[in-house]
Amino acid sequence: MMLLGKTIIVTGSASGIGARTAELCAQLGADVIGVDRREGGPSLSGFIRGDLSSQAGIDAIVGQFPQRIDALCNVAGLSGAPGAAPTVAVNFYGLRGLSEATATHIRPGGAIVNVASIAGYGWRANLSRAKSMVAVTGFPDVAAVLKDHNVAEAEGYPLSKELLLLWTQLAAHQPRFRQNGVRVISVSPGPVETPILGQFRQVFGDKRVDDDIAAAGRAGTPADIAPVIAFLCSDGARWINGTNIAADGGLEAAVNAQALGF
């Protein structure tokens, strides 16, 4: 009962990784409140139907949160198939807005766990663009921000995760989180068998997805990712902060070997 007595919010709880994370956190003793734009997923202590793609949507969701929570798991995301602007809006600016609005609800020692992706691997190579886009505060006109930064339509998904990986490291040191004793961490899955994987095949092509699955040894399942998120919410992870944990069967190691030549 690693999470006994904790109150944990899980976004994206209606499907895939979020559904399994919510279910597992509840099995480990937490009161879990799911958030999703559609119904579904496991039966939980609470469920808030809401949309993370606008500030108004975020405000409506946070207004229903309990006064004190222990962890926010930011799992909801889009594949890129709906377009770059909606994808960056949900995967980065919406996630950040929800996290910022939730910070004061989180108890000291609590955590914000962001589901990023191996797809965000390019954050260092594209650092100046990522810095500039993360520096845009609030919930911006995302289409205008993408235009200002010359972002191609196909870059929406990887870019959203590059921004998230950079922001996770920045947020861990921001007073808003740090002074409240809130850890901010990311988890980067490799390819995982969920409905989004079919969309990745459309966006990135079968070859890219199949190559990633081959490098990882097999496709993952939500059950490969949920325990990592649950652990990061627990007190056992109390000194893990501002970092990224790959849960990808070794895919990042293979990408490093290729990119860095070892």
Q: Is 191 in the site for ligand NAD (CB under 6 A)?
A: yes
Size of the site for ligand NAD (CB under 6 A): 26
CA distance 15 to 151: 29
Q: Is 213 in the site for ligand NAD (CB under 6 A)?
A: no
Q: Is 23 in the site for ligand NAD (CB under 6 A)?
A: no
Closer of 98 and 151 to ligand NAD (Cβ): 98
Closer of 16 and 110 to ligand NAD (Cβ): 16
Q: Judged by CB under 6 A, which of 15, 168, 186, 241 binds ligand NAD?
A: 15
Within 8 A by CB and 6+ apart from 147, the residues are none
CA distance 165 to 44: 29
Pick the stretch among 16-24, 100-108, 138-146, 251-259 that binds ligand NAD (CB under 6 A).
16-24
Give the CA count within 13 Å in the CB-facing half-sphere of 130: 23
Shortest Å distance, C-beta 219 to ligand NAD: 8
Q: Is 251 in the site for ligand NAD (CB under 6 A)?
A: no
Strand partners, 10: 34, 73
Residues 255, 225, 204, 58: is their CA dihedral positive or negative?
A: negative
CA distance 51 to 250: 33
Q: Judged by CB under 6 A, which of 5, 38, 137, 207 binds ligand NAD?
A: 38
Q: Across the beta sheet with 69-74, what order do the strands follow?
A: 46-49, 31-36, 7-11, 69-74, 106-115, 183-189, 244-247
Pick the stretch among 73-81, 96-104, 165-173, 253-261 that binds ligand NAD (CB under 6 A).
73-81
Q: Retrieve residue 176's tokens.
A: 């808003």
Q: Judged by CB under 6 A, which of 2, 45, 48, 51 binds ligand NAD?
A: 51
Pick the stretch among 140-148, 175-183, 192-200, 237-245 that binds ligand NAD (CB under 6 A).
192-200
Instruction: Provide the angle, in degrees to the nearest 10, between the axes of the packed helices 251-260 and 206-216.
Output: 110
Q: Is 80 in the site for ligand NAD (CB under 6 A)?
A: no
Cα distances (angstroms) measured from residue 179 to each of 72, 103, 109, 183:
17, 10, 11, 10
Pick the stretch among 11-19, 144-152, 171-179, 230-238 that binds ligand NAD (CB under 6 A).
11-19
CA distance 252 to 164: 17
Q: Judged by CB under 6 A, which of 10, 32, 78, 146 binds ligand NAD?
A: 78
Q: Is 168 in the site for ligand NAD (CB under 6 A)?
A: no
Positions touching ligand NAD (CB under 6 A) are 12, 14-18, 36-38, 51-53, 75-78, 90, 115, 117, 189, 191-192, 194-197
